Amino acid sequence: MKLKLNLTIVLLITIFLLGCHHEETFYAITSDKQVSLPFKASGFFGYFKKRGIKFKIDSTKNTKELIKFINLSKYTIVITDEETGKKVESLSENWKKICTVALKFNREVPTAKKKFVLIVKSRLLKRKEKLIEILKGWNYGVDLLKDGAVIYYLTGKEKLEGIKFLKCQGSK
């Protein structure tokens, strides 16, 4: 009898604790670690946690790896160069470009720049309120990176060279 009561109590506590978990996890992947800094800054300052979003970002060594990994169902957000973004969109109708999020400059050729885009899986497009919160998190991170102390904490560098982050304002 006592064992049955104890099992019932443990079961009720477990159900209660699992029922209190409201955070939803979103996974992003990028082919360039530096481009994920606005999301990392927002995460560090608790933006996503305050909104009940668990946000994880992974990076790959190159674009071939990125294309291989996005076939995994867990990724709903990709940040990659514009050329790879177009390739991903052409390979699958499930991916849609949202906006240009960064410009990366080549140090050897100052006029050469590479655009980075944010693309999302169509299932995230159907959840507009979550998508908007994620995009606001990106924009918040872009603002945070204007502070040298945030850059230093996240990268160990005094300032970011060769990259300019842009606020996400829709597809252009």
Whether residue 87 is predicted with pLDDT greater than 70 in this model: the reply is yes
- The proportion of the chain whose per-residue pLDDT surpasses 90, expressed as a percent, equals 40
Nearest to 96 by CA among 78, 70, 69, 114: 78
The mean per-residue pLDDT over the stretch 163-168 comes to 92
10 part of a folded domain: no
Pick 23 or 2 by higher pLDDT: 2
Domain span at residue 144 reads 22-165
Total domain count, the chain: 1
151 part of a folded domain: yes
105 part of a folded domain: yes
Confidence class for position 41, pLDDT limits 50, 70, 90: very high
Please give the Cα distance from 115 to 134 (Å, whole number).
20
Whether residue 39 is predicted with pLDDT greater than 90 in this model: the reply is yes
Q: Which helix (H) or strand (E) holds 85?
A: helix 82-91
Q: Any idea what the CATH number is for the domain that residue 41 is in?
A: 3.40.190.10
- The proportion of the chain whose per-residue pLDDT surpasses 70, expressed as a percent, equals 83
97-143 residue pLDDT tens: 999 999 988 776 666 688 999 999 988 888 889 999 999 999 999 99
7 part of a folded domain: no
